[in-house]
Structure 1
Amino acid sequence: TPTVSETKSSFLKAYKRPIPSVYNTVLQELIVQQHLMRYKKTYRYDAVFALGFVTVYDQLMEGYPSDEDRDAIFQAYINALKEDPQQYRADAQKLEEWARAQTSSSLVEFSSRDGEVEAILKDIAERAGSKGSFSYSRFFAIGLFRLLELANATEPTVLEKLCAALNIDKRSVDRDLDVYRNLLSKLVQAKELLKEYVDREKKKREERSESPKANEAVKKCLGEYQYLS
C-alpha cells in the first residue's frame, strides 16, 4: 500500500503546473482523505462514490481558469490513487442520466426493478447490509445527495427511505452533507475573494504602493497567490 505522501507525490509529478491555492489547499486535503478511504481493507470502488467525488471536484473547480487544466488535474488526481479517471467520469454520467429519469418513489424502489444502475445499488445494499464488505464515506453521501437532487426528490423523507433501502446509516449521511455544504459555502467565499483580488491587482498595477496591503489581506484569508500578480 502506498503512503499518503507517495500518493501526493504521484499527483504532483503527474501535474506539474502551479495550482492557485484556493483550489490547491482543498485538493490536497481531499487527496489525503481519499487516500485513506481508498486503502481501507473494506474499500471497493462503486459508482455512487464516483458520482460523489466527481460532484465535489466539479464544484471545487468551477471557475478554474482553464478547462483543459481542470481535466488534466482530475486525471492526475485519480491516477495518483491508482484508479481510472475515465471510469469515474463515465459512471458519474451514467448515474446522473439515470437519476434525471427517476421520481422520488422510483428512486427508493430501485430494488424492485432490473437495470444497470439498479444492479449497482442492489450490490451496495447487499454489501452494506453485511458487516465488513462495505466502506461508507463522505463521497458516497454526496453521491446519494446528487442522485436525489437530479431526481428532484429533495424531501427529507426520500433520503431516509433511500438510506434504509441501501442499509446506510442516515445520521452519517446527514453529518457528511452538512460538512459538504459548509465546504461549498467557504469555497464560494474564497473564490470571490480571489476574483476581487485578481481584479484589483489588474487595476492597480501602476499603484504599486497599494499592492502589499492587498497581498497581505488575501494571504491571511487564503494563502499564497504571489504568482498571480
Structure 2
Amino acid sequence: MKMAAVTSVSFSSISQSKFPIASVRNLASNFDAFKFRSTILSRDSCNLRVSTSSPMVIHCMSTSTDLPTVSETKLNFLKAYKKPVPSIYNSVLQELIVQQHLMRYKSTYRYDPVFALGFVTVYDQLMEGYPSDEDRETIFKAYIKALNEDPDQYRADAQQLEEWARSQTASTLVNFASRDGEVEAALKDIAERAGSKGSFSYSRFFAVGLFRLLELANATEPTVLEKLCAALNINKKSVDRDLDVYRNLLSKLVQAKELLKEYVDREKKKREERTESQKANEAVTKCLAGYQYAGL
C-alpha cells in the first residue's frame, strides 16, 4: 500500500465518505482485523514508574504476581459501568478490550503518550454519536481502569501531544531529537526503546497516534511519515498497513451507524403513524358516541 492512499483520507473526512452498506452484525468480526501482535504473554505484571526526567514517559517493572485474565478485565469493566451499551458500540468495545488486554500484559509493553493519543483517537472515533456524552466519558474511564491504567493520564497526554503537534511543521516534527521539551523527551525515549530489541511493543494504536501527529501538524506528505518512522526506529511498512486497517474499520463503523440510524428513523415513523391512526380512531369513536347520545 502506498502512503498516499492513507494520507489522502483524514480522520474527519472518513465519516463523510460513502460506502456500500454492510451488516451491523458483522462489525465485531470486521474489527478482528484490528488485533494486536501479542501471541506470547509474560507471567509478569506491570507496576508503573514515572520517569523523573519526563513525566510523560512511563516505565514498566515486573513483579511475581499473576496476570489478570481476559475475563477478569472484562468483568472489571462491567462492574465499573453497569448500564447497558447499545449493541453497535458494545460489540466493538468487547472485542477492543480483549485485544488491548493481550497487548497490555505483554512483557515488552510500555505506556507512552503516542500510544495514548492513538487510543484516544480510536475511541473517540468509534464512540462518536453515542447517545450521551457523559456516558461516553464514563465508559472511557471504566475501560482504561479495567486495564489497571489511568484514564486521566491518557486524556492529558493525548491533549498535550495534540497541542504540541499543532505548533509543529513537517521539519520540526521529524527533527524532534535535536530539540528539548517534554514531548520531545517522550519521543526520544520511544526511539531509544524501539531501537533496542525487546524493549518496545509496537501496536496499531501507536500507528494511529503517529498519523494523528502528522495530521495535526498538516504534514501528511508521504515522505514525512517515512522520516518520522526512521527517527523513531519504527517499521514504516507496519505503520502503513495498520493505518489502512484502521481506515477500513472506521468505514465499516460508519456503515453500521448509517444502518442503525435508518432503523431508528423507520421505527420512529411507524410509531408516529400508529399514534396518528389511534388518534383518528379515537376521534371517530367519540364522534359516533356523540351521535348516539343525540339520538341520531
What TM-score do the two structures reach when normalised by structure 2?
0.69
Counterpart of 2:150?
84
Counterpart of 2:130?
64
Instruction: After TM superposition, give the deviation of residue 29 of structure 1 in Å.
Output: 1.1
Unmatched runs of 5 consecutive residues or more in structure 1: 209-229
The 5-angstrom pairing of residues 11-30 of structure 1 reads 11-30=77-96
User: AA paired with 2:79?
Assistant: K
Deviant stretches of 4+, over 2 Å: 205-208
* 1: CA distance, partners of 2:169 / 2:123: 26
Is 1:198 matched with 2:264? yes
Counterpart of 1:94?
160
Unmatched runs of 5 consecutive residues or more in structure 2: 1-66, 275-296
Match of 1:37 among 103, 106, 110: 103
* 2: CA distance, partners of 1:105 / 1:22: 41
User: AA paired with 2:171?
Assistant: S
Counterpart of 1:75?
141
Is 1:158 matched with 2:234? no
* 1: CA distance, partners of 2:87 / 2:177: 44
SS at match of 2:79: helix
Q: How much is the aligned-residue C-alpha RMSD, in angstroms? A: 1.0
* 2: CA distance, partners of 1:206 / 1:169: 56
User: AA paired with 2:116?
Assistant: A
- CA-to-partner distance for each residue in 1:74-125, whole Å, 9 max, x for gaps? 0000000000000000000000000000011110000000000000000000
User: AA paired with 2:146?
Assistant: A
* 2: CA distance, partners of 1:143 / 1:5: 28
Counterpart of 1:147?
213
* 2: CA distance, partners of 1:84 / 1:173: 26
Is 1:171 matched with 2:237? yes
Instruction: After TM superposition, give the deviation of residue 15 of structure 1 in Å.
Output: 0.6
Instruction: After TM superposition, give the deviation of residue 5 of structure 1 in Å.
Output: 1.0
User: AA paired with 1:148?
Assistant: L
Counterpart of 1:225?
none
* 2: CA distance, partners of 1:79 / 1:162: 31
What TM-score do the two structures reach when normalised by structure 1?
0.89
Size of the aligned set, in residue pairs, is: 208
* 1: CA distance, partners of 2:184 / 2:207: 17
* 2: CA distance, partners of 1:193 / 1:13: 30
* 1: CA distance, partners of 2:273 / 2:94: 34
* 1: CA distance, partners of 2:146 / 2:182: 28
User: AA paired with 1:49?
Assistant: F
- CA-to-partner distance for each residue in 1:140-187, whole Å, 9 max, x for gaps? 000001000100111011000000000000011111101100000001
Instruction: After TM superposition, give the deviation of residue 130 of structure 1 in Å.
Output: 0.6
